[in-house]
Amino acid sequence: MSDSHPVQQVPAGSGSASLLRDAGLVGLGGALGSVARYLARSALPLDANAATFAINVAGSCLLGLIVAGFAGRRPRLQLALGTGFCGGFTTYSALAVGIAELAGAGSVASALILALGTVACAGAATLVGVWIGRRLSAGGGA
């Protein structure tokens, strides 16, 4: 990834203490995101692949909003919410397992639809989140 990616920027600090604090923020955000994913998955009346799809699309929209809404400011909040929460909430591994299971069961077309559909819809959701984040940021809402 590029060093200029807003979510990946780590604020300059006083060395290892700053790095540990930032890692703690990412860890806390990731733990909360993972719990949120578990609760969302439990509450959604969908099969595993459909729930993973919905969670990944929603998380992508949220990440776009965070990246654009806090662009150039609040880097530690970006770490906690973007890298941490959204990283814990969304799940590439469950998507990969779902694709592999579908393909292994002979449903290659379904596996391709899940793979390409997730990438396309999550990408579109990210753009929507960026659009919302920019609007909120311009209005002082983020």
The pTM for the full model equals 0.84
Q: How confident is the model at residue 1 (pLDDT cuts 50, 70, 90)?
A: very low
85 vs 3, higher pLDDT: 85
Decide: 100 and 66 in contact? Cβ < 8 Å: no
Pair 114, 48: CB distance under 8 Å: no
Contacts of 5-14 with C-beta under 8 Å, sequence gap 24+, read 6/67, 6/70, 6/71, 6/72, 6/78, 6/82, 7/63, 7/66, 7/67, 7/78, 7/79, 7/82, 7/83, 8/83, 9/75, 9/78, 10/75, 10/79, 11/75, 11/76
Give the helix/strand (H/E) hosting 117. Answer: helix 108-138
Supply the mean pLDDT for the chain. 90
| Beta strands, E only, 36-114 | none
Rounded Cα distance, 71 and 80, in Å? 14
What pLDDT, in 10s, does the model give residues 71-102? 889 999 999 999 999 999 999 999 999 999 99
Q: What does the angle CA 54 – CA 57 – CA 61 come to, to the nearest 5 degrees?
A: 135
pLDDT in tens, 15-71: 788 999 999 999 999 999 999 999 999 999 999 999 999 999 999 999 999 999 998
